[in-house]
Amino acid sequence: MAQQEHPAITNFRNYIRIKTVQPDPDYASCTAFLKEQAQALGAEVHVEECVPGKPVVVMTIRGQDPSLPSVLLNSHTDVVPVYPEHWKYDPFSAFKDEKGNIYGRGTQDMKCVGLQYVEALKQLQEAGHKFLRTIHLTFVPDEEIAGGNGMGKFVETDYFKKMNVGFALDEGYANPTEKFNLFYGERSVWWLLVKCPGQPGHGSQFLENTAGQKILKVVTSFLKFRDAEEKRLRDTPGLFLGDVTTVNLTMLKGGVQLNVVPAELTVGFDVRISPKVDLKEFENTIARWCREAGEDVTYEFAEKGHSSDVTCVEDGKNPWWDAFAAACKKEGVSLVKQIFPAGTDSRFLRERGVPALGFSPMNHTLVLLHDHNEYLNEKIYLRGIQIYTSILLAVANLKP
């Protein structure tokens, strides 16, 4: 006789089946599902549409002392696009194989965490636990497309300000070892275009100050810096990706015909800057590279983040961290503290002075966020719920 599936797993698989995939997420079905979750949890529910069609779903469990700063449990509802031909199973079927691996887009990034919060709170309530502080769960849209119309807009609302958030949890990612990743900051995302104007003319000539000559100098400067940072990461023990600055050439634009020297060429870069770097000084470096490339070379930003804020994770210096770390120790969770190499919604919270930690309780798990055949094992998922029961009990009952 087949063993009956754990209700939390069934719930998780149902969430995966909702196609909140960019660029056209089904937020309506998702919101309806989340309202059902709030009802099962006995939580108040509020939907805030800072941008039409992009709902932020807020579940609230009132604490015994609502005047105290609250705990925010954040997750995003959208997921990145898929290439179904590269998947073993339908990426929105939540197929579970004989090993208990659940395949689906969002299993790791990050529908797992959103529902693990809910399931952990259910268990705590069923066990009769009360919370000193109010707990808010936010399910936000559009994180996978930079979050500006999701958490970015939500933190500016009066509703968010009235939530009086004192501490937040958000996403991390898997660790294939026995240990768990813990993120206390993240790199600033800079997407920029460098425009190189030059002397146009016939392709048979030796023209001076061409766009091609200038763009070569720009690319050389950026990629020479990239090579140096890659070498530093490779040669420095104990350094993680988030500790260095990455640069990648991602776009090239220009030219009209093979025998015509163009009047302008443009190159685009994706730069992720370590919080240890002085942002003003780094921009001065970019400006110098452009000056050195030639006359009238300019740059402009498509995205310019300022994620230099980090959350203190030193014992005895941050009571929120102390509570979180003690709960992890109780659960036998060994943490690897590092800077998140990409961007999450935590940056919007830290920029407003809210200490935030990125944590997804997935160990013994390959890192497959944004990859084909993303999956999470059901035992790892259920273990994560247990870990969160200890963490949420600790932070929501932190005495002032």
Q: Are residues 264 and 336 in the same domain?
A: no
d(CA 167, CA 63): 14
* pLDDT at 2 (0 to 100): 56
Q: Are residues 160 and 224 in the same domain?
A: no
Taking the CA atoms of residue 377, residue 383, residue 384 and residue 389 in that order, the dihedral angle to the nearest 10 degrees is 160
Chain centroid, CA 352 distance in Å: 17
Q: Are residues 248 and 361 in the same domain?
A: no
Q: Are residues 67 and 146 in the same domain?
A: yes
* pLDDT at 345 (0 to 100): 96
Conformation bin of residue 276: beta by default, left when phi > 0, alpha when psi is -120 to 50: alpha
Q: Is 331 a catalytic residue?
A: no
* pLDDT at 273 (0 to 100): 97
Query: Of 275, 304, 333, at which residue does a domain stop?
Result: 304
Q: Are residues 253 and 336 in the same domain?
A: no
d(CA 337, CA 9): 29
Q: Is 143 a catalytic residue?
A: yes
* pLDDT at 124 (0 to 100): 98
* Cis peptide bond upstream of 361, omega within 30: no
Number of domains in the chain: 2
Spatial CB neighbours of 237, under 8 Å, sequence gap ≥ 6: none
Q: Are residues 217 and 269 in the same domain?
A: yes
Segments of 279-352 assigned E as strands: 298-304, 335-340
Query: Of 304, 332, 366, at which residue does a domain stop?
Result: 304
Q: Of the listed 78, 109, 374, 378, which one is catalytic?
A: 78
Q: Of the listed 109, 119, 142, 143, which one is catalytic?
A: 143
Residue 288 belongs to domain with CATH number = 3.30.70.360
Taking the CA atoms of residue 96, residue 99, residue 105 and residue 109 in that order, the dihedral angle to the nearest 10 degrees is 130
Q: Are residues 171 and 218 in the same domain?
A: no
Q: Are residues 197 and 274 in the same domain?
A: yes
User: In the numeric block, which tokens belong to residue 15?
Assistant: 């969430």
Residue 40 belongs to domain with CATH number = 3.40.630.10
Burial class from Cβ neighbours inside 10 Å (0-12, 13-18, 19+) for residue 124 reads buried
* pLDDT at 307 (0 to 100): 78
Q: Which residues of the chain have pLDDT under 70?
A: 1-2
Q: Are residues 43 and 162 in the same domain?
A: yes
Q: Are residues 333 and 384 in the same domain?
A: yes
In this structure, is residue 1 part of a structural domain? no
In this structure, is residue 2 part of a structural domain? no
In this structure, is residue 24 part of a structural domain? yes
Name the phi and psi angles at 76, rounded to 5.
Answer: -110, 150
pTM of the model: 0.92
Q: Are residues 248 and 315 in the same domain?
A: no
Query: Of 304, 330, 358, at which residue does a domain stop?
Result: 304
Q: Bridge-partner residues for 271, per DSSP?
A: 190, 247
In this structure, is residue 124 part of a structural domain? yes
In this structure, is residue 284 part of a structural domain? yes
Taking the CA atoms of residue 160, residue 162, residue 167 and residue 171 in that order, the dihedral angle to the nearest 10 degrees is -20
Domain that holds residue 243: 188-304
Among 240, 49, 242, which residue's Cα sits nearest to residue 149?
A: 49
* pLDDT at 1 (0 to 100): 43
Half-sphere exposure of 365 (CA within 13 A, CB side): 31
Dihedral (CA of 337, 343, 347, 348) sign: negative
Q: Are residues 192 and 170 in the same domain?
A: no
